[in-house]
Amino acid sequence: MIHHTIKHKVTTLGGFILEEQRAYPWATGELSGLLRDMGFSAKIINRDVNKAGLVDILGATGDNNIYGEEVKKLDIFANKQFLYSLQNNGECAGAASEENDDFISFPSQPKSSQKYVVCIDPLDGSSNIDVNVSIGTIFGIYQRISRGGPCVESDFLQPGNKLVAAGYIIYGSSTMFVYTTGQSVNGFTYDPTIGEFCLSHPDIKIPRQGTIYSVNESYKYKYAQAVNDFIEYCKQIDKETGRPYSSRYVGSMVADFHRNLIKGGIFLYPAMKGHPHGKLRLLFECNPLSFIVETAGGKATNGKERILDLVPEKLHQRTPIYIGSEDMVNKAMEFLNAKEEIATIGT
Ligand code: AHG
Ligand code: MN
Ligand code: MN
């Protein structure tokens, strides 16, 4: 008899989710179902991102979303696709999306518990759609608080420390699905030849200290002096700390975040004149990525408080954010704490 050793065991996203579920004997499989649905939608969006140049899906719809930003067609498509699959899966009671003014409550389904709600940025980095630069999807999953009937707003206004799972998909030079249920962060790369996300980055840990800083420096004259002092620090020459750090800013938070997660680095979107809460949305962008970064050993703060401890007051709330390698975020906070003016910027 010939014994064959199978050398390359491929773990698919679906297989991994099930394996993770087995570690919790009490798990009902509903969260697993929800995560698998996110993976399925990701494949559909990926298909359309890839053929975006070929079909009439590119370009603006002519509408603005509630932030007054131009809405691209692919944003709308991605939003519909995710909401549609969440609505049909039976595990999800409702969703709040960056693209919708209000949350959506899904019709109740007999025999389904619908115990989760989802917050989602269906297409992050939309200004990069037309120019072949990485874009993404960001999502967070919470247990709903209300019982039975339609969802209520407080189901969505939960602090990030209540997240059950969070993840992102990056449609880049390759497409990846990265998620965590709070134990470890795992990354899966899409193999289009078999149509599966395959485990490629198990148990991701962010380096304590990196050499990359990501910030839109064009707002220099709108930032507080303390922010500019930190940026200046990143540029100074210092052998011991590896400075000057490299500046990398894609303009899709999910892509900047992903790179920094793997290589180590800090991403900041501070408060600025006219925008006292910065730009990024607490529910749709900051909380899910903060949950991921903390699980990977990193840190996320608004300059004063841990992002995950902020109690949201409204769905589309924005917050300044400093996120990434722990030592780098701590260093940024040292600068911020040294100057009081940060508290009043933009007001
Ligand atoms: P979205 O496409 O979902 O509106 O998000 C864009 C966000 C974020 O991804 C990115 O980091 C940031 O906007 C870029 O903003 P600036 O152009 O102001 O730097
Ligand atoms: Mn976004
Ligand atoms: Mn978006």
Which position has the higher pLDDT, 54 or 241? 241
| Ligand 1 atom, smallest distance to 255 CA | 9
- 233 pLDDT exceeds 50? yes
- For residue 339, the tally of other CB atoms under 10 A from its CB is 13
Compute the average pLDDT of residues 57-62: 62
Cα–Cα distance measured from residue 116 to residue 114, given in angstroms and rounded to the nearest whole number: 6
The pTM assigned to this predicted structure is: 0.93
Does the pLDDT of residue 342 top 60, yes or no? Answer: no
Residue from 65, 250, 252, 268 to probe ligand 1 pocket by mutation (most atoms less than 8 Å from CB): 252
Q: To the nearest whole number, what is the mean pLDDT of the chain?
A: 92
124 lines ligand 1 (CB under 6 A): yes
Q: How confident is the model at residue 5 (pLDDT cuts 50, 70, 90)?
A: low
Largest CA distance in the chain: 78
Does ligand 1 have an atom closer than 6 angstroms to the CB of 312?
no
Nearest CA to ligand 1 atom 19: 216
Query: In the prediction, which pLDDT does 347 show?
Result: 47
21's CB contacts (< 8 A; 6+ apart) are: 27, 29, 31, 32
Q: Are 299 and 241 in contact (CB under 8 A)?
A: no
- Give residues whose Cβ lies within 5 Å of ion ligand 2: 121, 124
- Tell me, using a 6 A CB cutoff, whether residue 283 lines ligand 1: no
* Distance from residue 47's CA to the centre of ligand 1 (Å): 23
Both tokens assigned to 31 = 């969260």
Rounded Cα distance, 75 and 45, in Å:
10
Cis peptide before 244 (omega within 30 of 0): yes
Each residue of 94-116: pLDDT tens digit?
999 999 999 999 998 887 789 99
Q: What is the DSSP string of 230-295?
A: HHHHHHS-BTTTTBSPEE---S-HHHHHHHHHHH--EEEE--BTTBTT-SSBIIIIIHHHHHHHHH
Summarised one tens digit per residue, pLDDT across range 245-278 is 999 999 999 999 999 999 999 999 999 999 999 9
| Domains along the sequence of the chain with CATH | 13-201 (3.30.540.10), 212-343 (3.40.190.80)
How far is residue 114's CA from residue 150's CA, in Å, rounded to a whole number? 10
Distance 1 CA to ligand 2 centre (A): 57
Q: Report residue 82's pLDDT band, with 50, 70 and 90 as the boundaries.
A: very high
Share of the chain above pLDDT 90, in %: 78
- Ligand nearest the Cα of residue 123 is 3
Query: Count of residues for the chain?
Result: 347
CA–centroid distance, 252 to ligand 1, in Å, is 6
Query: What confidence category does residue 344 fall into, taking pLDDT thresholds of 50, 70 and 90?
Result: low
